[in-house]
C-alpha cells in the first residue's frame, strides 16, 4: 500500500468512527444508511487486501535452499554411481557428463541446477540395465525425479507471488476508487441535511474527511489537505 493510500485509509477510519458514534442521527435517512453500508464494505475489503499484499518471502527462500540442497545430494549419489560405471567401461563422454559434486549443483543458477540434475537422471535411466551392480534402480530414479520436480515447483513460487501481488494492488486501487466515490458523491452531499439539526455531527464528519499526510507531518507543519472532487483512482 502506498503512503497516499495509507493516509487515505486513516481518513476512512476516522470518518467511520464519526459515523458509528452518530448512528442514531443518520440511520433514519435510508440513502445515507445505504451509503454507510457501501462505504464500510469497501473499507473492510481494503484492510483485508492490505494484509494479503504483505507477503513474507523468507519462508519461500528457506524452502528453496533446502530443496536445492536435497536435490543436489540425491543427484550426486546417482551421478557418482553412473560415473563409476562410465570409468569402468571406459566411456569418457559419460564420465565427463557425470563428474559433479554437491557444491557444483548447489552453486549453479536455478535453471542450470535443474538442467544438470535432470540430465544425470536421464543418463542413468538410459544406462539403467547396466547400473544394477552400482546400486541404481528404477525406484531410485523415480525418487530423484520427484525431488527435481519438487524443486522446480518451489522455483516458480516467487514469480507466482509477483503476479498475485499485482492482482492485489489493482484490487486495492479499485476499492479506494469505490470508497472515494461513495464519500464524495453520496455521503458528503447527504450529510448537509443534518447541518441545522446536528451541526456538531456535520462538523465532526467534515473534520474527519480531512486527509493528513503522515509522512509530511513528521517533516513540517504543513496543514492537512482536504479532499477535492472529482474522484480519481489512487
- Per residue in 131-169, pLDDT (tens digit) is 999 999 999 999 999 999 988 888 876 555 554 566 778
Handedness of CA 12, 16, 19, 23 (dihedral sign): positive
Q: What is the CA radius of gyration of the chain?
A: 31
| Residue 203 confidence (pLDDT) | 96
pLDDT at 233 over 80: no
Residue scoring higher pLDDT (137 or 48): 137
What does the domain layout of the chain look like in residue ranges?
A: 3-54+159-219, 67-155
Residue in the block written with cell 444508511: 33
Q: What is the pLDDT of residue 60?
A: 64
pLDDT over threshold 50, residue 10:
yes
pLDDT band at 101 (very low <50, low <70, confident <90, very high): confident
Dihedral sign, Cα of residue 204, residue 206, residue 209, residue 212: negative
Q: What is the pTM of this model?
A: 0.51
What is the pLDDT at residue 218?
44
Among 62, 60, 70, smallest CA distance to 160 is for: 60
- Split at pLDDT 50, 70, 90, the class of 222 is very low
Task: Give the Å distances, CA to CA, from 226 to 11, 184, 191, 212.
Answer: 10, 12, 16, 8
At residue 225, the 3 state secondary structure works out as strand
Question: Which among 186, 170, 188, 183 has a CA at the least distance from the CA of 233?
Answer: 170
* DSSP category for residue 54: -
Backbone CA torsion sign across 139, 145, 147, 153: negative
Q: What does the block give as the cell for 85?
A: 560405471
pLDDT tops 70 at residue 112: yes
**Can you read off the three cell numbers belonging to residue 47?**
484492510
- Bridge partners (DSSP) of residue 211 are 225
pLDDT higher than 50, residue 17: yes
Amino acid at each position: 500500500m502506498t503512503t497516499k493510500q495509507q493516509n487515505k485509509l486513516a481518513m476512512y477510519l476516522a470518518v467511520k468512527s464519526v459515523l458509528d458514534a452518530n448512528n442514531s442521527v443518520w440511520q433514519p435517512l435510508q440513502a445515507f444508511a445505504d451509503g454507510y453500508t457501501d462505504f464500510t464494505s469497501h473499507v473492510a475489503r481494503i484492510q483485508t487486501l492490505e494484509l494479503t499484499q504483505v507477503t513474507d518471502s523468507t519462508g519461500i527462500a528457506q524452502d528453496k535452499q533446502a530443496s536445492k540442497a536435497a536435490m543436489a545430494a540425491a543427484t550426486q549419489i546417482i551421478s557418482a554411481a553412473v560415473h563409476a560405471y562410465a570409468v569402468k567401461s571406459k566411456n569418457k563422454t559419460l564420465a565427463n557428463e557425470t563428474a559433479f559434486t554437491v557444491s557444483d549443483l548447489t552453486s549453479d543458477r536455478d535453471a542450470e541446477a535443474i538442467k544438470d540434475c535432470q540430465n544425470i537422471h536421464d543418463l542413468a535411466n538410459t544406462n539403467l540395465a547396466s547400473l544394477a551392480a552400482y546400486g541404481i534402480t528404477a525406484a531410485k530414479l523415480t525418487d530423484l525425479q520427484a525431488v527435481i520436480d519438487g524443486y522446480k515447483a518451489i522455483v516458480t513460487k516467487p514469480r507466482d507471488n509477483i503476479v498475485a501481488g499485482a492482482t492485489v494492488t489493482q484490487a486495492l486501487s479499485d476499492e479506494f476508487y469505490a470508497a472515494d466515490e461513495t464519500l464524495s458523491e453520496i455521503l458528503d452531499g447527504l450529510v448537509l441535511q443534518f447541518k441545522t439539526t446536528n451541526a456538531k455531527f456535520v462538523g465532526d464528519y467534515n473534520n474527519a474527511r480531512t486527509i493528513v499526510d503522515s509522512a509530511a507531518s513528521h517533516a513540517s507543519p504543513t496543514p492537512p489537505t482536504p479532499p477535492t472532487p472529482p474522484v480519481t483512482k489512487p
